[in-house]
Amino acid sequence: MKKFKKLEPMDTGSLVDKVEIRLLAFFKENNLVPGDAIPKELEFAESLGVSRTVVREALLRLRTLGLVESRKHRGMILKQPDIINNFSRILDPTLLGEDTLKQLFELRLILEMGMADFLFENRDPKDMKELEKIVEAEEANSPGKIRFALDKEVAFHGKLYQMSNNITLQGFQNLLLPVFEYVYLKETKNEDFDDYHFSGGKFVTHRMLLENLKVGTPETFRNAMRRHLEPHFDNAFKKNGIK
């Protein structure tokens, strides 16, 4: 029997998908940078041999992603994509599966453990004073308590993200907030969780983290932060009996 050459699978991607990929490749090959004008819809359609409708839809996608923008009387130009804005529309906890939520919460733990060097590098008197005020406000409202309301948690940890001096990281934190709140509220529904926080008296408070940031090193701060986040780590690792 005659040996046939392998029949390659059909390429079932839509024409718009293909045009989108071709346009991105075109920008790259021509070394276009943000601010550069790009050819008109009609020119693309003629070069690619496809309808204007297809090109328009592909360009619309790129506009949705913030990669191109229309300028009055100037046609379209390439744009530096806003990573954070792009993310913000899709990060609705109610639309994300449990697995993704868990992973994003773990990502928060990783970020807060990892940012110590940047906090020590960038801390300045003004920020330290603001952090001090945040801690004082907490203590005034919840004397003797170790656990604070969600808004206090967000105020303290949000300030740390801000002090990291990395706008992409801050933006990331801002848009992950709904996810953190969602997981936090789930955790706190469990009554065991409050008991846990008080166990052994070794819990590291926001006050202790603040003092550490004043006189410690990135290394001592990381260890303190690890203790502070202990209940969340144990939750992630299913070690605290919380279901």
DSSP 72: T
Instruction: Report how many helices (DSSP H) and strands (DSSP E) the chain contains, helices first.
Output: 13, 2
100 near a copy of itself (CB under 8 A): yes
Binding to a copy of itself in span 202-231, by CB under 8 A? 218-219, 222-223, 226
Q: Which of 168, 185, 188, 198 binds a copy of itself (CB under 8 A)?
A: 168
Q: Which of 48, 50, 169, 242 binds a copy of itself (CB under 8 A)?
A: 169
Q: Which of 15, 48, 76, 96 binds a copy of itself (CB under 8 A)?
A: 96
* Residue with tokens 């330290």, as numbered in its chain: 128
Nearest approach, Cβ of residue 141 and a copy of itself (Å): 30
Please give the size of the binding site for a copy of itself, defined by CB under 8 A: 57
Tokens of 83: 């990573």
67 near a copy of itself (CB under 8 A): yes
Tokens of 37: 């004008």
Q: Could you report how far apart the first and last alpha carbons of the chain are, in Å?
A: 62
Contact string 118-157 vs a copy of itself (x = CB under 8 A): x--x------------------------------------
192 versus 219: smaller Cβ distance to a copy of itself:
219
Contact string 11-30 vs a copy of itself (x = CB under 8 A): -------------x--xx--
- Contact predicate 84/171, CB 8 Å: yes
Q: Which of 15, 48, 111, 177 binds a copy of itself (CB under 8 A)?
A: 111
Quote the CA–CA distance of 174 and 180 in Å, as a whole number. 10
Q: Which residues contact 164 (CB under 8 A, 6 or more apart)?
A: 115, 118, 119, 122, 170
Quote the CA–CA distance of 49 and 65 in Å, as a whole number. 24
Q: Is 37 helix (H, G, I), strand (E, B) or coil?
A: strand
83 versus 150: smaller Cβ distance to a copy of itself:
83
Tokens of 147: 């656990």
Longest C-alpha distance within the chain, in Å? 88
- Contact predicate 56/41, CB 8 Å: yes
182 near a copy of itself (CB under 8 A): no
Interface residues toward a copy of itself, by CB under 8 A: 24, 27-28, 31, 33-34, 57, 60-61, 64-67, 78, 80-81, 83, 86-87, 89-92, 94-97, 99-100, 103-104, 106-107, 109-118, 121, 164, 166-169, 172, 218-219, 222-223, 226, 233, 237
